[in-house]
């Protein structure tokens, strides 16, 4: 997962609360840091996304493959 995919996934899943979730929610799965702190420290976006999903009880079917853009049609 790229950072841009992470940003899209968070925005889609958490809508208007996405900014607060990333900057305020402390995630035990990544060392008691917020998502923003973890990303700044170099934690891979995929690991941060999965920690967010775990903490926020996001259903498994909405955890994988999100954030990707549809392939371009030729």
Q: Give the whole-angstrom CA distance, residue 69 versus residue 51.
A: 22
50 occurs within a structural domain: yes
69 occurs within a structural domain: no
22 occurs within a structural domain: yes
Task: Say how many domains are in the chain.
Answer: 1
Question: Which has the minimum average pLDDT: 2-6, 63-67, 68-72?
Answer: 68-72
72 occurs within a structural domain: no
45, 1 contact by CB (below 8 A)? yes
Token pair recorded at residue 17:
């609360």
pLDDT tens column, 4-55: 999 999 999 998 888 999 999 999 989 999 999 999 999 999 999 999 999 9
Residue 42 belongs to domain spanning: 3-62
19 occurs within a structural domain: yes
74 occurs within a structural domain: no
- How would residue 66 be classed by pLDDT, with cut points 50, 70 and 90? confident
67 occurs within a structural domain: no
11 occurs within a structural domain: yes
Cβ-proximal residues to 3 (8 Å cutoff; 6+ apart), any chain: 39, 45
């Amino acid at each position: 997962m790229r950072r841009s995919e992470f940003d899209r996934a968070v925005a889609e899943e958490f809508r208007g609360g996405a900014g607060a979730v990333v900057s305020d929610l402390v995630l035990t799965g990544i060392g008691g840091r917020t998502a923003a702190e973890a990303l700044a420290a170099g934690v891979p976006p995929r690991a941060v996304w999965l920690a967010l999903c775990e903490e926020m009880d996001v259903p498994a079917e909405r955890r994988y493959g999100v954030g990707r853009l549809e392939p371009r049609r030729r």
